[in-house]
Amino acid sequence: MWTCGGFHRKGLERYLVGHTDVPNQMATTTSKKKTARKAAKGRVSAETLAKGQREISVSEFFAKNRHLLGFDNPRKALLTAVKEAVDNALDACEEAGILPEIHVRLLQKDESRFKLTIRDNGPGIVRAQIESIFGKLLYGSKFHRMKMSRGQQGIGISAAGMYGLMTTGKPVHIISKTSRRTPPHDVVLKIDTSKNRAEVVSEKEDPKSDTLFPGGTGTQVVIELEGRYQKGRQSIDEYLEQTAIANPHAQITWVTPTNETIEFPRAVEELPEEAKEIKPHPKGIELGTLIQMLERTESKSLSSFLQDEFSRVGQRKASDLAQRADKLSSKTITPRSRVSQLGHAEAECLYKAIQEASIMAPPTDCLVPIGSRALLAGLLKEVQAEFFAAATRPPTVYRGNPFQMEVAIAFGGNLSSDESSRILRFANRVPLLYQQSACSSFKAVVETSWKNYGLAQPRNSLPVGPLVVLVHMASVWVPFTSESKEAIADYDEIRKEMKLALQECGRKLGTYLRRRKQMKKQSERRGIFERYIGEIANSCHSIAGTDKKKLYDALLKQAERKTKEADQRLDLDGKIVSAKRLEQDEDVIILAERQASIGEDENDGLFGEDMPPTTKRRTTAKKSRSKKKKKKTS
């Protein structure tokens, strides 16, 4: 849920920590109401209001704002709890360099009450940290960390625990083992929401639990909570399925409330590279963040603040920014100005200066895409298709934030052919299950003209056919449309990259479909010739008195020879060569054995009208015309 990014956290922090000077430009939904009121009443009443904010307790906040954290209804609450725990497990394993093995089990206690158990083989959590991690919201948050990871807020798992406590009154039960030599510690925690702190209910060292962690380390979390379990779209099953696709290095076991065990086996044996941490880029920062950074920095002068806290700002750029800010400000601003002396107004000038100045784009080597091969491996094990292709775009930047797009498609096989295609959306390897049509990726798929690749596509809609499209955005900051972090915001740069990746995959699909059609034709060829030669022998016999049987046999012999020849010629000339190119393409997988099942329902979008190959003599003009036409069709 809290994939990455500060929006969210900033909003929350205001309630919880109670910063008084919240800038009105902050673009967070959480603060929208307040900001509006503040703007209407002016500064004084805003101060008063802000004082009131300080007194809101965590539980009060949480009770009122469940929906912001993904607990808006019982079904979604279950999903969110699973998601928080699984995302944490994956993050922990990756950071520790361990191939993840995750067990998820949901036990139904009564109609609306469930016991959720999630266990991983990660590094474990040292005893001293347990209370803070599970009992404190916003614990361990690295506010200025610009690093690609699933979680960043430091509220995920504690929120899940808190939701459990609030709906069932049951504490959270943690068993964690941090080394082979020490026995696991077993801790039962009750979260004191008013104090934002955990209370230990019971605690022991329990060697019996060693069996839970055959790898020597790991963590198990048990939460009892209210919920509703239902399969289908936006379910735990879908979330895990898609998680398995985007994380083919993970092994996931899922035991459903009906005691059904579903395995998502590991498809690639190596861990993704570790993401590098970078400093934020000046252009990617909002005014509110800038103000907080100014407050918290250890740097003394403006110049060193800019150089220390941001990427791509050197001494010269820092002076340039200070100069520009000075021009906008009523108070003098120099590179040597004390940071502590800069007020709100100066911060705003500095913010404007940053927007004006041209600053080198941030480094992009901090991104770790899933990679075409891993994406294909992930899709391959979860989707019963016949054709797979993937494309990874080079990293680029929107609003100062490095990002990278990846797309993979699966086509044919057992996928349904008369429905709209399905889009699987991911941000930093986390599946996005809600608000599809608000998502930039949805728009990118709709705007791609799939007709060019041989698929049907009603106007302004998704293509129709046995197609699954996977879109993944990797970024140190994924811009979501709202705090529920369900849809990627529609930035032009992002949509453009998505479309380029989609087109790359689409072209490969087009080549494949054209070739599949050709192969079908080849097998038909024999049939065609043999079908007609009987008629021809009859006619010739009737008109010219030719021996019917003799002519038939002669023509049949030729037909057989011709089909053989034609097949061979196809092997040598361009068409099959291009197909070979497909086969040699590392980003394409074709499963011939799945082809048969859909051979019949040819979708004749573009390739329907094949021009009959006619040999033209003495017609140079005509020849070039028909060539042009062929080019257009291909």
Partner 1 sequence: MAKKKTTKKTTKKTTKKSTKKSTPRGSLVSKKRDQETIGKIRDLATSVAKSGLAQREPRIEIPIRSINNMKYNARKRILEMGSNTQQRELFNVGQARKFMQMLLVSKGCRDLIQAEKTLSLRGMYYMTLHTIEGTSEKTFNEQGESDTILEDLEVTIDGLREELHVFAKKRGTMVGNITVIDNGDEINCRRMGTGGYAIPSICEPNVIQFKDCDADFILHVEKDTVWSRFNEDRFWEKHNCILTEGSGQPPRGVRRLLHRMHKELGIPVYCLLDCDPWGHYIYSVIKQGSINLAFESQRMAIPEAKFIGIRAEDYDRCKLTNDVKIALNERDITRAKQIMDYPWFADKKHWKKEIKTMLGNGFKMEVESLITKDISYVSEVYVPQRLKDGDFLD
Residues of this chain that bind ligand ATP (CB under 6 A): 2, 84, 88-89, 92, 120, 122-123, 125, 133, 140, 151-158, 219
Check residue 558 for interaction with partner 1 (CB under 8 A). Answer: yes
Rounded to whole angstroms, the maximal C-alpha distance in the chain is 111
* Cβ 395 vs Cβ 404: under 8 Å: yes
Please choose which of partner 1, Mg ion, ligand ATP, none residue 153 contacts, taking the beta carbon within 5 to 8 angstroms, the exact cut-off set by kind.
Answer: ligand ATP
Please choose which of partner 1, ligand ATP, Mg ion, none residue 152 contacts, taking the beta carbon within 5 to 8 angstroms, the exact cut-off set by kind.
Answer: ligand ATP
DSSP 36-93: HHHHHH-HHHHHHHHHHHHT--HHHHHHH-GGGGT-SSHHHHHHHHHHHHHHHHHHHH
DSSP 234-276: TSHHHHHHHHHHH-TT-EEEEE-TT--EEEE-----SPPPPPP
Please choose which of Mg ion, ligand ATP, partner 1, none residue 532 contacts, taking the beta carbon within 5 to 8 angstroms, the exact cut-off set by kind.
Answer: partner 1
- d(Cα 521, Cα 510) in Å, to the nearest integer? 17
Check residue 536 for interaction with partner 1 (CB under 8 A). Answer: yes
DSSP 284: G
From the CB of 315, what's the least distance to Mg ion, in Å?
38
In the range 507-526, which residues lie near partner 1 by CB under 8 A?
521, 524-525
Check residue 88 for interaction with Mg ion (CB under 5 A). Answer: yes
- Site residue total, partner 1 (CB under 8 A): 38
State how beta strands 101-110 and 251-255 pair. parallel
Check residue 540 for interaction with partner 1 (CB under 8 A). Answer: yes
Binding-site member from 166, 438, 500, 554 for partner 1 (CB under 8 A):
554
Please choose which of Mg ion, partner 1, ligand ATP, none residue 67 contacts, taking the beta carbon within 5 to 8 angstroms, the exact cut-off set by kind.
Answer: none
Q: How many Cβ atoms sit within 10 Å of the Cβ of residue 209?
A: 18
Check residue 546 for interaction with partner 1 (CB under 8 A). Answer: yes
Binding-site member from 619, 627, 629, 633 for partner 1 (CB under 8 A):
619
Q: How many Cβ atoms sit within 10 Å of the Cβ of residue 363?
A: 16
Q: Which is nearer to partner 1, 64 or 630 (CB)?
A: 630
- d(Cα 384, Cα 187) in Å, to the nearest integer? 43
Check residue 460 for interaction with partner 1 (CB under 8 A). Answer: no
Check residue 531 for interaction with partner 1 (CB under 8 A). Answer: yes
**Would you call 313 helix, strand, or coil by DSSP?**
coil
Q: Which is nearer to ligand ATP, 125 or 551 (CB)?
A: 125
For the record, the structure tokens of 359 come out as 């600053």
Q: Which is nearer to partner 1, 44 or 543 (CB)?
A: 543
Binding-site member from 55, 269, 270, 535 for partner 1 (CB under 8 A):
535
- The residue with tokens 């197909």 is 579
Q: Which is nearer to partner 1, 95 or 565 (CB)?
A: 565
- The residue with tokens 């930039």 is 440
Check residue 122 for interaction with Mg ion (CB under 5 A). Answer: no
- d(Cα 402, Cα 80) in Å, to the nearest integer? 27
User: H/E/C letters for each residue in 460-529?
Assistant: CCCCECCEEEEEEEEECCCCECCCCCCCECCCHHHHHHHHHHHHHHHHHHHHHHHHHHHHHHHHHHHHHH
> Minimal CA–CA distance to 257: which of 142, 115, 442?
115
Integer angstrom CA distances of residue 538 from 423, 555, 562, 582, 625? 56, 12, 21, 45, 37
In the range 145-174, which residues lie near Mg ion by CB under 5 A?
151, 156
DSSP 205: E
Please choose which of partner 1, Mg ion, ligand ATP, none residue 544 contacts, taking the beta carbon within 5 to 8 angstroms, the exact cut-off set by kind.
Answer: partner 1
Binding-site member from 104, 267, 376, 555 for partner 1 (CB under 8 A):
555
Please choose which of partner 1, Mg ion, ligand ATP, none residue 92 contacts, taking the beta carbon within 5 to 8 angstroms, the exact cut-off set by kind.
Answer: ligand ATP
- Phi, psi values for residue 388, rounded to 5°: -135, 135
> Minimal CA–CA distance to 99: which of 211, 265, 302?
265
Please choose which of Mg ion, partner 1, ligand ATP, none residue 559 contacts, taking the beta carbon within 5 to 8 angstroms, the exact cut-off set by kind.
Answer: partner 1
Q: Which is nearer to ligand ATP, 120 or 346 (CB)?
A: 120
Binding-site member from 68, 467, 551, 588 for partner 1 (CB under 8 A):
551
Check residue 337 for interaction with Mg ion (CB under 5 A). Answer: no
**Would you call 538 helix, strand, or coil by DSSP?**
helix
Check residue 614 for interaction with partner 1 (CB under 8 A). Answer: yes
Q: Which is nearer to ligand ATP, 46 or 137 (CB)?
A: 137
From the CB of 186, what's the least distance to ligand ATP, in Å?
15
Check residue 533 for interaction with partner 1 (CB under 8 A). Answer: yes
**Footprint on this chain of partner 1 (rule: CB under 8 A):** 521, 524-525, 528-529, 531-536, 539-540, 542-544, 546, 550-551, 554-555, 557-559, 562, 610-619, 621-622, 625
